[in-house]
Structure 1
């Protein structure tokens, strides 16, 4: 059996209500060893609730929740999990090294201080007070803290917010290394290019249900959109009214158009502006697929 085929956590028919609001509506979700799962969805889709159930922070109203075959509230199971939440309240007066040593003390067989610092790229920050760090540096420290217990399951909630490109790339490399060692990773992010770069499997939630699941390529193939990017003086509002145009965005000199009929669109584009330059045509990415999938779900529910 392949390593990634082993389940480490699961939700089966999970239901969670907050008064009259249904946050999860019979959600099934399986997390596998050695796999990076991107959990995506618009605000209010149920992502935070699903993670809260798996971490044992809240309890389901119905259905089954398991973490390493146990109740998520089990201390033995929770010690096998690392968590990097979107916001963290940490002692501001402690130095980075002190924060890591404190976190390491909660686990029976923690990573070494040097190992955590090297993985997160913070060896130069160990003597600095946490409160004096930039937002991106604090996120890297939080990542190091999530690794202290040698987690077999790692939850990363918007992990690279505030990071520069170099720090983000270094974190991606570290995440890939953890997955290669067999760690299961659950990633939630609004940077869809991050999910596209890292995820082996993507689950898209809407209204507390799974609306799509599969590899990045599989999700992209469900949306027959092509992205056309070029330099043109054409007005984006006028282009948005053309037939077969799904969306239009202006990025400084560049116009980016998504269409389900690229050949027709290209003919009209060249007709309207023969001076168009730097023309680039490629299949739509995960961002366009995500937008189209969630829009289809909203439209279907409104029509029902």
Structure 2
């Protein structure tokens, strides 16, 4: 497979459920060797987009292609791997048996040991699936998703239920797969995870793509900046200043989120001549996402969720 080759696409796609428009004129291409984070608030159209690419849904208008074919063709589906949030796997089968069964559906699967090593489940192969913890089951589901050497891998909230070391191992495996030329589509509510993994971020809002580009490009679309400094100024007083979105204190440090960074920095220095350790940073991915979508609901921070 050639790197950056288009492996799947949607062109002018519309999808309705009754009177509700789930997707309206969506254009998207998925490229070999690229990790795409598909983001958006609930109801934005992410599940519909993935369902169309998997051949589970039909578009009302527009064209959907998977490896140049109709996604509902079996030959095209053999080139994909899928890890969904919910997986109903036989609880009495051992992990190794599940992997061998899944691999048997593909013409040239990975060796069982290789799939197990990538997913970090070498020590679980002889254990019944139903006896595993939630995090262990997620790793087994990942191993099943990659066992057929997919050219296109869909990962829906892949690290939910995993501790931080397991997350980091999964991240490394995803980058390995992308390095081999697989296209990866990732949905996640951990925005810092998207920032860590994704080469490209596509944001859906009310069935339309409102941003499609690199993580840095998404951050650059918003004017919000973060200021951190050591100051004795009262956080509530600073929060009331023009251009300030939020101000909070952590020990001796004052954290300020603002739109008019130059004016706020000047006022901070004027109000506290003893101010020190001043840092100004661009908007984080979480801030950029909320600014773009108008969604005031904060996403869970990866470090807090670990």
TM-score between the two structures when normalised by the length of structure 2? 0.88
Quote the residue 1:52 is aligned against. 51
Spell out, residue by residue over 1:148-172, the C-alpha distance to the aligned partner (whole angstroms, 9 max, x if none).
1100000111111111111111111
User: What's the offset of the Cα at 1:230?
Assistant: 5.2
Q: Distance in 1 between the 2:39 and 2:168 partners?
A: 21
More divergent stretch after superposition (241-250 vs 9-18):
241-250
Are residues 1:81 and 2:80 paired? yes
Over aligned residue pairs, what C-alpha RMSD do you find?
2.4
| 3-state DSSP of counterpart to 2:126 | coil
Alignment of 1:114-125 (within 5 A): 114-125=113-124
Confirm or deny that 1:40 pairs with 2:27: no
Matches within 5 A, 1:89-168: 89-168=88-167
Q: How far off is 1:240 after superposition? A: 3.5
Distance 1:245 1:100, change over 3 A: same
| Structure 1 stretch displaced more, 192-201 or 230-239 | 230-239
Map of 1:6 onto structure 2: 5
Gaps of 5+ in 1: 297-304
Query: Within 1, Cα distance between the matches of 2:75 and 2:250?
Result: 50
Which residue of structure 2 lines up, in the alignment, with residue 299 of structure 1? Answer: none
CA offsets, 1:111-148, max 9 Å, x none?
11100000011111112222222222211111111001
- Hey, what's the Cα distance between the residues in 1 that align with 2:239 and 2:167? 34
Distance in 2 (CA, whole Å) between partners of 1:135 and 1:269 is 48
2:20 alignment partner in structure 1:
21
Shift of 1:294: 0.9
Distance 1:295 1:130 in 2: 41
Distance 2:97 2:230 in 1: 52
State how far apart, in whole Å, the 2-side matches of 1:249 and 1:41 are.
27
Q: Structure 1 residues 140 and 256 mapped into 2: Cα distance closer, same or farther (>3 Å)?
A: farther
Q: CA deviation at 1:252?
A: 8.6
Once the two structures are overlaid, the 10-residue window that deviates more, 191-200 or 133-142, is 133-142
Structure 2 unaligned spans of 5+: 296-306
Deviations 1:240-284 (A, max 9, x none): 332112345677986643212223323444666778776543111
Q: Which residue of 1 aligns with 2:304?
A: none
Which deviates more from structure 2 when the two are superposed, residues 73-82 or residues 257-266?
257-266
Q: 2-side partners of 1:116 and 1:229: how far apart?
A: 44
Shift of 1:235: 6.4
Distance 1:244 1:98, change over 3 A: same
Superposition TM-score, scaled by structure 1 size:
0.88
Q: 1:198-237, aligned counterparts within 5 Å?
A: 198-229=197-228
- In the alignment of these two chains, the number of paired residues is 295
Q: Contact 2:236–2:248 at 8 Å: present in 1 too? A: no
What CA distance in whole angstroms lies between the structure 1 residues aligned with 2:128 and 2:229? 47
